[in-house]
Amino acid sequence: MSASAAFEQYVCEACNYIYDEALGDIDSGLPPGTRMQDIPDDWFCPVCGVSKSDFRKITPIAKRQANPATHTRSSEKKGVVILGGGNAGWCAIEALRAHGYEGSITLVSACNGGRYSKPQLSGLQSLGGLGALKGYTQAQDAAKALDVRLLCNTWALQVSRNTKRILTSRGSLAYEHLILALGASPRMPAFKGEGNERLHVLNDLKQYIEFNDILNVVKKTAWEQDRSTHVAIVGAGLVGCELANDFVNAGLEVSLIDQAALPLAARLAKDQAIALKLSLQGIGVRFIGESRVSHISSWQDHGVAIEMELEHGLIDAVKADIAIACMGIVPRLRLAESMGLQTNRGIVVNNTTLMAAEHVFALGDCVEINGQISATLEPINRQANCIASQIVGKPIAYEHRDTVWVVKTPCCPLVIRAAAKQ
């Protein structure tokens, strides 16, 4: 090719980023005038991270079809980038559009970004299992409706607050405003014994599907052996109690194990906790309180039955076909810490602006406000509304409220207010 040949443009077929030979890509070390054929084969798309072979030369017709909003770096619209495709991430997007924000919105999510109501997960078995999940929307459909650029199954790895760029597992992108909606991880059990690895956890649909698949296997085995299926739940907090009620209603045998003497002991007043315990026992839950799990071993050949040793002075043991640990959640802080944001139990934000730093907001399960992690849906819409209002320049202050938990145990429905325990 002669040096005077016209420069070409190439479009990334994954994300529409356009590599323009005339401009090069300074961030990737390619000076203006670098021809596509001279770029090393291991170069990757600076926006989504696919390989050089995923670029297609733009013909005049394709040039007209390409989306101008995602053309070159120089015309790259930074807009709002949201990290996390759970309820908080989607609520933030909806709030931005509702506030009239017309700029570009990019959603980066480590999961597939599908929209659903998570509280359903602790009540599905008694309704017939996974098929009873209502209102699931594919991320692509939700993104289309809200005009969002979607980067699913993509991890945000690093954020530079100086350059306002995010490095993801599929390349880097720029932001004008960043919203952290990173949620929380289930607290992972770390008991002694190889059976620890067989404990399931539950904080999202993917984990529920994994649990449900194994549950169906062990149910089939138990049915063939003409016996009931036994599920052990370690942790009698909110989710543990709800699952226990749901599983018993679905015809499963349930042991609910906790180191405290009563279920939900950390949140309920004693008389309420006693009432909950009696109600759970009344429907058939075997509540094993004051029992600290000390060792878990595998049980049976197929890797789905678990033995636990409990200690409360005496050693007790429970053999279950499947077990799930419901030991609470831990806000995801690693990214915020690496950005130099203040973290404590969660990402610390200003309690009226929800700002963690200039141009950086946070909401949902990952934030701490007034020293509290809420881990409930109620504040998320109000948080999203507050953040969106600031991005469009018509700020509405966030009003922090004490958390209210609705305990979905049909045998003993309860409402807990954060400040109510006596």
Ligand X SMILES: Cc1cc2nc3c(=O)[nH]c(=O)nc-3n(C[C@H](O)[C@H](O)[C@H](O)COP(=O)(O)OP(=O)(O)OC[C@H]3O[C@@H](n4cnc5c(N)ncnc54)[C@H](O)[C@@H]3O)c2cc1C
Give me the residues paired with residue 348 across strands. Answer: 368
Region of 21-29, 34-42, 87-95, 136-144 interacting with ligand X (CB under 6 A): 87-95
Applying CB under 6 A, does 277 fall inside the site for ligand X?
no
| Cα–Cα distances in angstroms (integers) from residue 32 to residues 19, 23, 29, 223, 405, in the given order | 11, 4, 10, 69, 57
Q: Which amino acid belongs to residue 121?
A: L
Cα R_g (the chain), whole angstroms: 25
Applying CB under 6 A, does 121 fall inside the site for ligand X?
yes
Task: Give phi and psi for 59, each to the nearest 5.
Answer: -85, 165
Sign, CA dihedral 123-126-130-136, equals: negative
Region of 111-119, 190-198, 210-218, 344-352 interacting with ligand X (CB under 6 A): 111-119
DSSP 71: S
Residue in 105, 108, 252, 320 binding ligand X, rule: CB under 6 A: 108
Taking alpha carbons only, the member of 207, 227, 206 closest to residue 218 is 227
DSSP 206: H
| Cα–Cα distances in angstroms (integers) from residue 373 to residues 122, 342, 356, in the given order | 20, 15, 15
Residue in 70, 203, 343, 383 binding ligand X, rule: CB under 6 A: 203
Q: CB of residue 226 vs ligand X: minimum separation in angstroms?
A: 31
Applying CB under 6 A, does 399 fall inside the site for ligand X?
no
Residue in 50, 69, 111, 260 binding ligand X, rule: CB under 6 A: 111
Residue in 9, 87, 106, 409 binding ligand X, rule: CB under 6 A: 87
Residue in 109, 229, 383, 409 binding ligand X, rule: CB under 6 A: 109
- Which residue, 10 or 405, is less far from ligand X as judged by CB? 405
Applying CB under 6 A, does 165 fall inside the site for ligand X?
no
- Which residue, 58 or 150, is less far from ligand X as judged by CB? 150
Taking alpha carbons only, the member of 165, 138, 139 closest to residue 151 is 139
- DSSP string spanning 261-282? SSTTTTTS-HHHHHHHHHHHHH
Region of 116-124, 140-148, 245-253, 311-319 interacting with ligand X (CB under 6 A): 116-124
Applying CB under 6 A, does 83 fall inside the site for ligand X?
yes
Binding-residue pattern over the window 176 to 195 for ligand X, x denoting contact by CB under 6 A:
-----xxxx-----------
- Give CA angle at 185 (117, 420), nearest 5°: 70
Applying CB under 6 A, does 89 fall inside the site for ligand X?
yes
- Which residue, 71 or 267, is less far from ligand X as judged by CB? 267
Q: CA neighbours within 13 Å on the CB side: how many for 154? A: 26
Q: Which amino acid belongs to residue 178?
A: L
Put residue 330 in one of left, alpha, beta given phi > 0 → left and psi -120 to 50 → alpha.
beta
> Token pair 């989306």 is at which residue?
67
Binding-residue pattern over the window 236 to 275 for ligand X, x denoting contact by CB under 6 A:
---x------------------------------------
Applying CB under 6 A, does 402 fall inside the site for ligand X?
no
- Which 338-397 residues touch ligand X, going by CB under 6 A? 364-365, 375-378
Torsion of Cα atoms, 43 then 48 then 50 then 53, to 10°: -70
Q: CB of residue 305 vs ligand X: minimum separation in angstroms?
A: 24
If DSSP codes are grouped into helix, strand and coil, which group holds residue 141? Answer: helix
Contact 99, 389 (CB under 8 A): yes
320's enclosing H/E stretch is: strand 314-320
Q: CB of residue 236 vs ligand X: minimum separation in angstroms?
A: 14
Residue in 240, 287, 408, 409 binding ligand X, rule: CB under 6 A: 408
Residue in 18, 45, 88, 142 binding ligand X, rule: CB under 6 A: 88
Q: CB of residue 170 vs ligand X: minimum separation in angstroms?
A: 11
Q: How many residues make contact with ligand X (CB under 6 A)?
A: 34
Q: Which residues bind ligand X (CB under 6 A)?
A: 83-89, 108-111, 118-119, 121-122, 155-156, 181-184, 202-203, 239, 332, 335, 364-365, 375-378, 406, 408
